[in-house]
Each structure stands twice: as structure tokens, then as C-alpha cells.
Structure 1
């Protein structure tokens, strides 16, 4: 099919996921079907501002396909937030200059809340300048905190990794509890929303199954009540597995694990170390031997344990985003709509970016157990389908996954340098 007039630009923002490359591959494959050339911003919106645009045209179809089985973010990402149209006008004008210089008529921005906001603002500045541009947001985040969409691509795989890791670690702790570790603390990502911590609840079903305690950002952390729950669990079960979201707060709103590193580019407090902090407090207060873990990037990079459901949804939103763009559906995002729990049925539909940008979805009250330390059956019905089925990558003779790192060349610049 001959190339259509105009170019599609794809960029990524925020933390990557185990399946974000699958979305990128889906975008490239679908765009090629429409006869579109695809450029990708190197390191997200920063690459667009710097006019560092990767030409995906030379990538063979076989490489694009393998990209869909590779974790990380092949084109790079960034934590860089554009301000309001008034406060950051010079940057928005630069974006339009770059898009105009490379005849970009369709812009796809893959990310979370802040990315949806940026895509919406770019659509508005393009309209103000009279530049013909269709902007589509693409959902992605392991935190699962985007509004409107039933779930976010990237979350299902991170949730599967969390549930599996907690179940396996719990078996290890149970084997050693008689003479060694009594308490194990697992730290899950989640600044304001406890979705990943909740996913750990899938590791067990009975009252004595791990995790015995889940600490959610949606509930104020009460240290005395926590100690009492740990002691009661150890005395009843013989050991206690705790899953703590990194964003748990005390009743006064202070983060338990404020790392003291200031704010990131999105204005978020730098967190880290809640597991080590809780482990130290439990050891000092209760005298138990404690181990803890901080999986950190492992939660979002574990492509070897990806959820097949998550992978399918990551591909679906990539395809839909291109289709929406080509049809001129401006300032929308393809979102996942759940049709049924059992059997699990879902579809993809367009939603206005204005309904998504900067709206954060936390855990519903009826997903958190009445005592605040576990998930309900409603949460289990929601979560379980998202981690279902496996989608392992191809392995090589060396016993390692055959991931691909394609050589990526940028197109020649057409504008003067710009200081970001």
C-alpha cells in the first residue's frame, strides 16, 4: 500500500511496562496497514521537543513482531510534564513547529494521567494554531489508576507478577518459620492507589493463606493496630506475610516511606523503602525475625510472566488508537470496557481525554475488606481475569528470552536546536 499523505507520530511517557512495546508494535503494524509512515519520539515528548524523531520505516516486520515480546520501552520514555498552555507556551509552540516540519498529522501519546492531559493540551494548541492534527491518548500504567477505562494495559502483567511472587515467597517463609523468619514484607508499587497491593490478595484464598495483611494507600496506616494484627497472625498461623503499597500514609497524610528525595518531574513525592521501614519497626516492637523485599522495576519489567489478557489488551488499544486517529477522532483515548466478569468479556471504545486527564481512580471501598487488611470477593472478581493465561516470550538455546533491541536511527533535523 502506498504511503498516505502525512505522518503519524508516536511517543511514550512515564514508567514503562512489560507490554508497552506490544502496544508500540501494534501501532506500527496498524499504521502500515493504513499506509502511514510512523515516527517515534526518542524518550517521549522530550524527543519531540528536541526533534529527535526515530524513523520506524526501516524496521522489518519480523523485528516489529519480536518487539511485541520484549519488555522495556524500545523508543524510550520520560518523566517530563508540560505545564499549562499559558505557562509553557514556548514549548507547545515548539511542538507545533516540529510537527509541522515533519508533516505530522496524527499524534499518539502513550501514558497515564499526565500523558492524557498533555495529549489534550496539544490538541487544543493545534486547533488554536489552525494546524490539522488529530491527537489520541493511549492508556498505559501498572498503577491501574486511569479513570474511565476498566483496566490499564501493563497492570495485568504486573498484577500477575505480584500474585505469583507473593505466593512463591510465602511457601518459602512457611518452610522456614519454625526456626527462622516469622514475618515477610513485600513492597508493591502504588502511590495513591492500591491496585497492585490488592493483586497480591489473589495469591491466597483462605483466612490463613498469604498474604495475611495488605496495607492500602486508601486506608490510614495505624502502627499499633498493624502490630497487633502481625502478632495475632504469627501466633495463629506461625508466620505472617505482609504486602504494603509504597504509598501508605499515616492519619495526618504523611507518607510512611517518604524517601526524602523531593519531587519528581510530575510533582510526585519520591517514595521508597516502606518494606524496609516496616520490617525494622516489626523487629524492634515484636522481636520477630523479619525479611523484606522491594521488587521495584521487576514488577513492571517481568515480560516472562506476562498476562495473556494484558498482552491482548495492550495490542488492542494500539490498533484502536491508530484507527481512531485515521478516522479523525480527536482528543480521545481507546479504553477497555468490561462486558462481563464470568466469563470475562471486554471491548475497546473511545472516551474523551477531558474525562480522563488528571483524574485518578483509587480502589473502590467495596474492594477493601472491612478490617482494611485484605480484598473482598468483589475485588477478586475484578482482578482475577486480568492475570489469566500466560504469554511467554520465545526462549533461546542459552535459556534466556530472545528479546530484541533494534537499531534506531533518527530522521534529519529541519529546525534549529531547542533548549528544553
Structure 2
């Protein structure tokens, strides 16, 4: 008898992660001979440990279809890493207990590199503990730092939002700079990778247009050199737009700014690069300036999603299921670029081992020699990823995003306390 499938979301969500969810759900239901029912864990792997499983049979079919255009994580996400099986065997015993109680034989985990590590641990758990479980990763991250795949679902839409925001904000600054703001700073996400900051350069129609200076996570921040470039830009144009990665590093490798110094699940919260940079510029130049942090907005802006990104996120969800049906396991679907002009792509696969806990930054050849801009090769890579519009339906002037009911399956296992402080 076919076993049931379980889908879960992990890490920071995106504007298109739910499109992957719908891809998985639709594909599983399209293979009734291979799969039984499909459930969703509430709040990622934590929901599995707590036995909080959502019965998708009780959801409105139209609401599930609407996941394709709904941002956020419809089933809840989490930042939680499974411990080492040698030191936390109780976590794995619990997973087996829950899987067995609900006849789950397939686990689809939608997330970034850390989530792929969790999927890999679940896959190895099955072999080690004698429980047959097929674990598959579904890629997602706005940071675009997953290895092997050409791009990460979620990045294209965030990149489109950032480039659009920078273009519009720059027009505002340009119109007022003679008597008001001289410097505008925008802080974008990017823990160890400057892909999102690089995307801001797509706002430029030609060199010299904003953003004029980009501070990448990969390039150490040299204060004197930056101030020289800033002053030169203001002298030439009358103003300067700066885009900074939240993961900007000092020359010694330490973070330029940290929002919270403590770790949460070994995850340091970054942030504060823009206000710290503004203080430095104000102290050194006296110029009037403004700064902004797009924060969650850049990953939630479904109203301006890239159609390419939506299509790829959905395709990754379906490819995860189709790969299982074809007999594969312990893999992650990847996007393979066949050509850039015209842009053509297809789905492939890679092992979970090749992507688990691996972060891929920008190649140095994508960053200009001075460290403050992107090369033509980077533009050629980035531009196809932001193409096309895929707006959600609007009602009374606002995007319509249905919410799932989230009715949980009856619990069959004893309660389990998860230590995540």
C-alpha cells in the first residue's frame, strides 16, 4: 500500500516558497499509485517533532492552488537544526515514532543549505534506524547561496524588488539632492553572499547611474577607500546611492554590524549596517543623508515577483516528487541554465551531500576590480532571473492571499518537549 508524504518549510521564507509547496502537493496527488495522502508539518521540522501535522485533505482545493501566488510560509517555518545523532538520539527516535504513527514514507523539506543538511540527516536516519524513509530537499533562499543549482528559488523575486526599489528611490534622491539629501543608503540581506546587493545594480541603465556604490559581503570594508569613492561620486553627480549587504565584513573578517550578538539555533541575527554606515558618513562629511533597511519586505513582496522565479519554484516542487517516482532519493532538484540569450533552463538533480550546509558567494569576476560594482558577466547572469510579471489577484485594491485552515491530525504519540532555547 502506498505510504504517505510529508512536506515542510524551513528557514527564512520567500515570495515564492508556497509555489514550491503547491508543486509538491499537486505532483503527489497526481501519483495516487505511488503515494498515499500528503500532510504538511506546522513550523518545519519542529512540527514533526511535536507531531503537529496538517491534514491537507481538509483544505479548500482553491486555497491550496492559490499557494502559487501567496507569499510567506503557508504552513509555518522554523530555524531549528537537528542535533548530532550521537548526542541527540532522542530527536531521531522521535522522528521515527511520528513517521511510523502516520505511515510516512516520504519527506520533502523546502529550504536552504541548512535545511538540506536536515533532510540529509533524516535520510541517513532511515538507514541507521531501520525505518524506510525517502528524504528529498526542495531548494529555496533569497540569498542565492545554494551550491550546484544555477539559482535559488526566491532570489529572482527579491532581486526584482530590490532593483525596482533602488531605481525608484534614486529618482527621489536625484530630484532633491541640490538642497536636501546627498546620500541614500539601502541595506539588503546577504549573510555571506552579496547576490542581493549585486541585483541592485540592475537599476542602472548605464554606468554612473544609481546605485553608485555597492558594498558586498565578499569584499572587506576599507573605510578610507570607501570615503574616497563616496566623495568622488558626490563631486561628480551631486549625490550618491549606496547599497550594503547586511553581512559586510571588516578587514579582519569580523562583521561590520550585528543586530543581536547572541545566537539563536547557532544563527546570529545580522543587521544595522546601514545606520552604522550613516553615522560614519555623517561624521566624516556632514552631508544630509537617509537610510533604509528592506529586511522582511524584500522576501515578502509577492506583488512584484519575477515570473521566472515563480515558474522555477513551482518546477522545483514538482521535480522533487517526479524524482522520487523515478526511483531517486536523498537529492535536491537543481535549476540548470542552458543559455542566457535567450534564457533557457531545465531541471536537474544533485545529491543532498553536495549542498548540505554549503554557502556559495559571488564569484570575484562578477564584482568590478574596485569592489563597488558588478561586471557585465554578472549583469548577464542576473537579468534573466528578474524577467516577467506574475501578479497575484487583487481585491479592493490589495493582493488577495487566502489562508489555510491548518487543521491538525489527531495525535497518536506521547508528547515530546523540544529544547530550542
TM-score, with length taken from structure 1: 0.97
Q: Distance in 2 between matches of 1:380 and 1:49?
A: 43
- Give the number of aligned pairs: 415
Trace 1:232-243 onto structure 2 (pairs within 5 A): 232-243=232-243
Q: Distance in 1 between matches of 2:241 and 2:87?
A: 47
Superposed CA deviations along residues 244-285 of structure 1, whole A, max 9, x for unmatched, are 0000011111111122431121x2322111111111110111
User: Which residue does 2:410 correspond to in 1?
Assistant: 412
**Other structure's SS at 2:69 match:** coil
User: Which residue does 2:27 correspond to in 1?
Assistant: 30
Trace 1:158-177 onto structure 2 (pairs within 5 A): 158-177=158-177
Q: Distance in 2 between matches of 1:7 and 1:340?
A: 38
Contact 2:197–2:215 (CA under 8 A) maintained in structure 1: yes
Trace 1:136-285 onto structure 2 (pairs within 5 A): 136-265=136-265, 267-285=266-284
Trace 1:366-385 onto structure 2 (pairs within 5 A): 366-385=365-384
Q: Distance in 2 between matches of 1:168 and 1:88?
A: 50
Q: Distance in 2 between matches of 1:261 and 1:71?
A: 29
Contact 1:309–1:387 (CA under 8 A) maintained in structure 2: yes
Contact 2:20–2:317 (CA under 8 A) maintained in structure 1: yes
Contact 2:83–2:91 (CA under 8 A) maintained in structure 1: no
1:115 aligns with 2:112: no
User: Which residue does 2:305 correspond to in 1?
Assistant: 306
Following superposition, the deviation at residue 327 of structure 1 comes to: 3.0
Q: Distance in 2 between matches of 1:260 and 1:412?
A: 38
Q: Distance in 2 between matches of 1:92 and 1:345?
A: 41
Q: Distance in 1 between matches of 2:144 and 2:85?
A: 27
Q: Distance in 1 between matches of 2:286 and 2:207?
A: 24
Following superposition, the deviation at residue 372 of structure 1 comes to: 0.1
**Other structure's SS at 1:57 match:** helix
Q: Distance in 1 between matches of 2:416 and 2:311?
A: 38
**Other structure's SS at 1:97 match:** helix
User: Which residue does 1:403 correspond to in 2?
Assistant: 401
Q: Distance in 1 between matches of 2:346 and 2:219?
A: 32
**Other structure's SS at 1:380 match:** helix
Following superposition, the deviation at residue 132 of structure 1 comes to: 1.5
User: Which residue does 1:295 correspond to in 2?
Assistant: 294
Following superposition, the deviation at residue 325 of structure 1 comes to: 2.2
Contact 1:135–1:325 (CA under 8 A) maintained in structure 2: no
**Other structure's SS at 2:328 match:** coil
**Residue segments in structure 2 that go unaligned for 5+ positions in a row:** none
Q: Distance in 2 between matches of 1:160 and 1:259?
A: 26
Contact 1:134–1:328 (CA under 8 A) maintained in structure 2: no
Q: Distance in 1 between matches of 2:197 and 2:264?
A: 22
Quote the RMSD (CA, aligned, Å): 1.0
Q: Distance in 2 between matches of 1:108 and 1:207?
A: 44
Contact 1:201–1:374 (CA under 8 A) maintained in structure 2: yes
**Residue segments in structure 1 that go unaligned for 5+ positions in a row:** none
User: Which residue does 1:8 correspond to in 2?
Assistant: 5
Q: Distance in 2 between matches of 1:42 and 1:269?
A: 24
